Amino acid sequence: MGKKAPIDKTTLFRDTPVPRALYAMAVPTIISQLVNLVHNMVDAFFIGRTGNAYMMAATSITLTLVLMNVALANLFGTGGGSLMARLMGAGRPDRGKKVSAYSVYGAVLAALVYSALVGIFNRPLLRFLGASDATFGFARSYAMVVIVLGSLPSILSMTLGHLLRNAGHSGKASFGLSGGGVLNMILDPLFMFVLLPPGNEVLGAAIATALSNTAACVYLLFACRSAGKETSPLSLSIREAAGIGKEDRRGIFAVGVPSAVLLALFDLANVCVNILASGHDDLVLAGMGIVMKVERIPNAMNVGLCMGMLPIVAYNYSSGNRARMEETIRTARNAGLLICLASMVFFEIVARPAVGIFLHTGGENNAEALRTVAYAALFLRIRCLASPFQFLNYHTSYGLQAMGKGRATLLHAFVREIIFYIPCMFLLDRLFGETGLAAALPVGEALGAVFALWLLARTLRHQKG
């Protein structure tokens, strides 16, 4: 038998019925997002087995630094991937190769600079993020391994995942990122409870995370190189990267910068949450940290859905098929809202056992652990109400990025976080304490969603004009 011809990914974007195309692109991405979320939650689960609320609080502080990895990956992964999909729709895969190569090496440079800055300024940075004397040592050990030593494979693997997905290789991207997550689940208990002495559980989790990200990065590099030999506009060539034109460079940053700023503003909001929560006490901070992990389950599913939607929207926007583009947007929106409504009902019913998984309450720190879990259950019941509004914000942002609307994406991110959510956070915390701090999320996201729906409708209306 002869070798099977590679699948033409343009057929998937252009001709396959929208629900089936969205399913083919989104399901592997959702699985990848969930597996990576699970491995982050496994970190928290094993740390929680110690019953040490201060270790849990430290992971909340370092989450801010980890999210900056995601922001930098979005700068080149989302920016380059979105442009690459639009170039495919325009019939210019040659320019797509230069865009993908430039995005890879841009991500490498960004990762090296970020690692160096965190390494130099880690002490004042962690203090600013809310680290107390009780949590600083744990937070620093995690940051030095996962960020200073591990940002390069982390940022590069996420960037490669974006590029593969936008070239139509959603399965390969999912396998690489999910494989790293599965490996992390295996390595976590090994490093936390076998290889390192007691008291070093946070360091063990950090080492496991860095090693699993490195393994994922190696696989994705090979996957990208292999896909580039087929019909995909993917390349790791330095020569291709150097040959990119000014127009395409601007195209990457036109979408990539707003996408990165969106994550950076989200990160800034988390910084504010940590600072305000630690102002009450470390146990409130630990409880909020648990909730931020649990509530990411529906968020991960919806971000995966939106990532799967993006290349289909981008391709059809560029090729001029507005009807198919808008059908894709509507189909993704309806599916995401169903996920959100189901998750809200679930969390309202099982909030206490859901958060209780992450902190052992039967050890010597029983009183502190019980207080932390009580805070977390209360916060989860309040914050889960934000789920459908968060999805509408994600959906709008990814839709705008797919169409190359960088300024509109940036405007949405600024209004959502700076005008609505962060001011609500400080106001409601001042009026109602830690309960108000939790309630700021659904209030701020609801206001942001109203603006998002108006902005997306306005953008689509202008496209028709």
Give the highest mean pLDDT range of 28-37, 85-94, 347-356. Answer: 347-356
* Whether 315 contacts 404, CB under 8 Å: no
Give the highest mean pLDDT range of 29-43, 129-143, 239-253, 428-442. Answer: 428-442
What's the CA dihedral at 185, 146, 37, 50 to 10 degrees?
Answer: 60
Tokens of 114: 């970020």
pLDDT band of residue 58 (cuts 50, 70, 90) is confident
pLDDT band of residue 185 (cuts 50, 70, 90) is confident
Q: What is the 3-state secondary structure (H, E, C) of the chain?
A: CCCCCCCCHHHHHHCCCHHHHHHHHHHHHHHHHHHHHHHHHHHHHHHHCCCCHHHHHHHHHHHHHHHHHHHHHHHHHHHHHHHHHHHHHCCCHHHHHHHHHHHHHHHHHHHHHHHHHHHHHHHHHHHHCCCCCCCHHHHHHHHHHHHHHCHHHHHHHHHHHHHHHHCCCHHHHHHHHHHHHHHHHHHHHHHHHHHCCCCCHHHHHHHHHHHHHHHHHHHHHHHHHHHHCCCCCCCCCHHHHHCCCHHHHHHHHHHHHHHHHHHHHHHHHHHHHHHHHHHHCHHHHHHHHHHHHHCHHHHHHHHHHHHHHHHHHHHHHHHCCHHHHHHHHHHHHHHHHHHHHHHHHHHHHHHHHHHHCCCCCCCCCHHHHHHHHHHHHHHHHHHHHHHHHHHHHHHHHHHHHHCCCHHHHHHHHHHHHHHHHHHHHHHHHHHHHHHHHHHHHHHHHHHHHHHHHHHHHHHHHHHHC
Q: pLDDT (tens digit, 9 = 90+) per residue, 229-241?
A: 666 788 888 999 9
Q: pLDDT (tens digit, 9 = 90+) per residue, 243-291?
A: 898 999 998 998 888 888 887 888 788 888 888 988 888 788 888 888 8
Give the position of tokens 């859901």.
354
**What mean pLDDT value characterizes the chain?**
86
Give the position of tokens 């990160």.
267
Give the highest mean pLDDT range of 306-310, 314-318, 327-331, 461-465. Answer: 327-331
At position 427, the amino acid (one-letter code) is: L
Does the pLDDT of residue 3 top 60, yes or no? Answer: no
What pLDDT score was predicted for residue 6? 42
User: Which range among 46-60, 148-162, 409-423 shows the weakest confidence by mean pLDDT?
Assistant: 46-60
pLDDT band of residue 310 (cuts 50, 70, 90) is confident
Tokens of 352: 């206490």
Q: What is the mean pLDDT of residues 97-105?
A: 93
Question: How far is it, in rounded angstroms, from Cα 11 to Cα 13?
Answer: 5
Tokens of 78: 């989302």
User: Which range among 159-173, 336-350, 444-458 shows the weakest confidence by mean pLDDT?
Assistant: 159-173
Give the highest mean pLDDT range of 86-90, 104-108, 168-172. Answer: 104-108
Higher pLDDT, 350 or 170: 350
What pLDDT score was predicted for residue 7? 45
Tokens of 42: 């496994």
Instruction: Give CA angle at 442 (347, 420), nearest 5°.
Output: 160
User: Which range among 185-189, 343-347, 354-358, 370-374 shows the weakest confidence by mean pLDDT?
Assistant: 354-358
CA distances 345 to 126, 266, 384, Å, are 36, 25, 9
Q: What is the mean pLDDT of residues 57-83?
A: 85
Does the pLDDT of residue 444 top 50, yes or no? Answer: yes
Instruction: Give CA angle at 22 (449, 73), nearest 5°.
Output: 65
What pLDDT score was predicted for residue 445? 96
